[in-house]
Amino acid sequence: MGRKGAETRDRLLDATQELIESGGYYGAGLNQVIAASGAPRGSLYFHFPGGKDELVGASLRRAGQEIAATLDGPAAPSAAELVEAILRALGARMEESDWRKGCPIATVALEMAAGNDPLQKACSEIYTSWEEALRARLADRPDADDLAVTILALIEGALLLARAHRSREPLTRVTRQITALLH
């Protein structure tokens, strides 16, 4: 794929992620994606011949890879400091969006996991990659498996509560609890 094709594909994925984060799966209609991306309709079907579900799945996987890369990277000396930095950044992002942006994976999982096997699988794979990245950060602990799932559940729950309350307070409280768990 040439540079122009890759740019068009990226614009489609960016627009899809933006729409999913603010309006969920059903708020990311193909007409809205085309309008938000500025891409021609034909490009959407060229890059995503499987239609909306393929587009949403690709958008989710890309968003998931960005978070996994953050979890894998040397962003902080300790797991607690890494989680604190991630929650601080996500809180700022949510607040800057006037609480419209949350976790696109959670949004789609809540809406679609029961009735759409391909998107359920994509969400499951993404969460598994995050658990694995957290587990690798906690490898020196005998409870790394349990802690990785607990931390992920705390983060996702805090994001949901922060969005519902339009407040960073749930993120702050969860950060304190994760720090306590990891020390």
- Predicted confidence (pLDDT) per residue in 13-54, tens digit: 999 999 998 889 999 999 999 999 999 999 999 999 999 999
The whole-angstrom separation of Cα 5 and Cα 98 is 32
Nearest to 131 by CA among 161, 151, 155, 104: 151
pTM of the model: 0.88
Nearest to 177 by CA among 159, 157, 161, 154: 154
Domain count, the chain: 1
The whole-angstrom separation of Cα 176 and Cα 178 is 6
Alpha helical stretches, state H, the chain: 3-23, 30-37, 41-47, 52-72, 79-96, 104-112, 117-137, 144-165, 169-182
Note the pLDDT tens digit of each residue in 85-114: 889 888 998 999 999 988 889 999 999 888
For the record, the structure tokens of 97 come out as: 């969006």
For the record, the structure tokens of 132 come out as: 């694995």
CATH number at residue 74: 1.10.357.10
The whole-angstrom separation of Cα 26 and Cα 36 is 15
Percent of the chain's residues with pLDDT above 90: 69
- Domain range enclosing 113: 3-182
- Residue 59: per-residue pLDDT: 95
- Residue 82: per-residue pLDDT: 85
Query: What CA dihedral angle connects 155, 160, 164 and 169, to 10 degrees?
Result: 0
